[in-house]
Structure 1
């Protein structure tokens, strides 16, 4: 149950904030910039208004999650640091002398129960875009589109291997501080089945945590305590998910024909001022180009006018070019798609096909996520002598995978010795786009694509968006929402 009226707290020590929290501190700037009452308005229906125990303020709980994202720390550490960091207390609206803080487990419940089914990513991005428009920051009508990948927490390995890896990382940090400190030895798993390995490793991990906690001087070191708290969270997750160690919503995506990843993709639209104005999270195998129409709709819903869309070859599909042309004709607009044509992806696939084209690898990917193993050079095929059709490119797949694929029905003919997929190159239908590619404007805009690549790097390196913190698409959306919200606020503050 939520409080009907927020209690105002008075303290004789409030002046400490003016003395010890600088005026240009990031958390002070965010507090002055953002009215967080929108969190209460969005979440009040998630609480009972007349029954139950008095709940923690949803605005404060949301701010805890924001602090966790900005400083890349665990649930335990964000509460622990609040006890001694005045900037944290100032941001959370606590009195300087207050020591009665929340239990860290409440943050997990808040994420799973209160933020469920809230479309939090769209909500937070729209809030930052509104602030940017109000401050006159977003003025350009040119926008960049791109997708960045995040590895799954399980990263396609079982819980046994992941626990072992995390213990090795903890050992490295502990021994960098005290080389002589003795930790439980990692178990010898030789000869054990996968089913028997997990209980042994899990028991060792629990002993591992106990051994480190038995040495208070070590635990007092921030680097050790943060790594230890992370290991505890992983142990708790592993106990629940050891049967299905892989992330149920993550999928295999391809960066090149020889490099793949297991995880998710976040599709972004960014203004020239480097403010993210729309985003969507999908599993790793999703086609970047097919997300363009949805991203354009979200951008316009957030009150931003589009003049030019700048992207890589993934967005130059025939469907996208037709979508832009239809939008210009029906809505009397003049939107330009600054995306280089690819002779394969620009013309789509044959009718009824559900194969997606991966622009990084230059290959098609089947609905099961398997990539073509080879592709032919463009061939002109015709049954009529003296007549030639547009060139055809043939992609070949590994037939041994097709034989056991769960989606083989209707795709692979039983007994067939090969599986191919052919597409016709229809460059004649894209003369207008080909002419646009030759202009100096197109070349100039393509050179500016580094800006969104830099934003992707910021999300990963600064806000920990290179790997999922939990399991499932909903958790990835929440992580992405908080990372983008924090990145946008920092950018707005910097420009102001």
Structure 2
């Protein structure tokens, strides 16, 4: 006989155990087993008053964003709706069937008010990384670094040309976003990253960078920088910055140094794309940090017009000279010119009678070869680029 569901009358009472309906193999159970947040309430106690109505549980304020991150629920409104209807999410967050899900506005209020002067989310992150280290998920020998763009909540229509932006604003008369920007002017990931004036600035969010890096229409954005251990892809650190290469490099320095200070781990080698191939950064890695750079070297000296390129000249490190294809010597005074370059010059007499002059300096009386003051670090990166591990 065919059965049929009856919804004529709802039950008055239900016998229901939330613990029993969440599958044993659900991801939230695995996360709950290793995520210890028992310390959060004591850590945040000084930020709460002893009087008044009880607040939303601060542990819930952390567990809900964890759900959003793990299950790719980016919007806080959507996160609240999903926790409202998803039993597994409710169980993970410690909410019963009859418990009310907090309004989405509590998250922005917490960020801008109660949690503003506390690094609670940084502490949660670092405790998770420490747990991964204890579990043997972090190798520590090799890291990778990269950045992703995050679109800023800034209106292009209300922006102003970068040349009109005044950094000498009185912080006491500025809004919150502007105050935060002014406080970061000396930070490597923001104001100190570059002196280049941006094309546009958003007065409501001046730290956001006008960028066309996505090859489409330009927009205001930030960069979310990641430092990743390559053994199992564990994110060791994260740092927000302006969406510009110089700032991303500064953020990578911050993450490497912070990881070493926090966990005592510094990689033996680092993988990155051309954004991290600048001469000062390679020098910082090779000579200051003793980290092997598996990073492409940006080559700007390659000639496509048939004239000899810099790589056609052999450098003698011991004598500090270049030797040209004709076997003549180029010497330097060691004077640093633009962009950290030192010029090596051939003899006018050698160039005048050289049979290769039209292939070397057809429009100049002598050949000059620039060499960056960090060229030795670039040579190290080039050497690693020829290894089997790099390929």
For the criterion TM > 0.5, the same-fold answer is yes
Alignment counterpart, residue 369 of structure 2, candidates 379, 385, 390: 390
Structure 1 partner of 2:331: none
Structure 2 partner of 1:276: 235
SS, match of residue 389 in structure 2 = helix
The TM-score with structure 2 as length reference comes to 0.61
Q: How does 1:9-20 map to 2 (within 5 A)?
A: 16-20=17-21
SS, match of residue 440 in structure 1 = coil
CA 1:13 to 1:280, structure 2 compared with 1: closer, same or farther past 3 Å? farther
Is the 8 Å Cα contact of residues 13 and 95 (structure 1) preserved in structure 2? no
Is the 8 Å Cα contact of residues 241 and 251 (structure 2) preserved in structure 1? no
Name the CA distance, whole Å, in 2 between partners of 1:101 and 1:436. Answer: 53
Greater alpha carbon shift after TM alignment, 125-134 vs 62-71: 62-71
Structure 2 partner of 1:335: 291
Is the 8 Å Cα contact of residues 344 and 425 (structure 1) preserved in structure 2? no
Q: How does 1:140-179 map to 2 (within 5 A)?
A: 140-154=140-154, 156-157=156-157
SS, match of residue 368 in structure 2 = coil
Superposed CA RMSD:
3.7
Structure 2 partner of 1:310: 271
**Higher Cα radius of gyration:** 2
Runs of 4+ in 1 over 6 A off after TM superposition: 12-15, 256-259, 350-354, 380-384
Name the CA distance, whole Å, in 2 between partners of 1:128 and 1:121. Answer: 11
CA 1:67 to 1:256, structure 2 compared with 1: closer, same or farther past 3 Å? closer
Is the 8 Å Cα contact of residues 277 and 302 (structure 1) preserved in structure 2? no
CA 1:59 to 1:381, structure 2 compared with 1: closer, same or farther past 3 Å? same
Structure 2 partner of 1:267: 225
CA 1:104 to 1:436, structure 2 compared with 1: closer, same or farther past 3 Å? closer
Q: CA deviation at 1:256?
A: 7.1
Name the CA distance, whole Å, in 1 between partners of 2:39 and 2:378. Answer: 46
Structure 1 partner of 2:133: 133
SS, match of residue 102 in structure 1 = coil
Name the CA distance, whole Å, in 2 between partners of 1:313 and 1:437. Answer: 12
Structure 2 partner of 1:189: none
Q: Which ranges of structure 2 fall in alignment gaps of 5 or more residues?
A: 1-12, 160-201, 302-335, 352-365
Structure 2 partner of 1:22: 23
Is the 8 Å Cα contact of residues 210 and 219 (structure 2) preserved in structure 1? yes
Is the 8 Å Cα contact of residues 209 and 244 (structure 2) preserved in structure 1? yes
Q: CA deviation at 1:144?
A: 0.6
Name the CA distance, whole Å, in 2 between partners of 1:430 and 1:245. Answer: 39
* Higher relative contact order, structure no. (Cα contacts within 8 Å, ≥ 6 residues apart): 1
Alignment counterpart, residue 244 of structure 2, candidates 273, 285, 294: 285
SS, match of residue 439 in structure 1 = coil
CA 1:289 to 1:110, structure 2 compared with 1: closer, same or farther past 3 Å? closer
Name the CA distance, whole Å, in 2 between partners of 1:427 and 1:83. Answer: 58
Normalized per residue, the structure richer in strand is: 2
The TM-score with structure 1 as length reference comes to 0.49
SS, match of residue 224 in structure 2 = strand
Name the CA distance, whole Å, in 1 between partners of 2:76 and 2:378. Answer: 52
Name the CA distance, whole Å, in 2 between partners of 1:126 and 1:439. Answer: 34
Normalized per residue, the structure richer in helix is: 1
Structure 2 partner of 1:93: 94
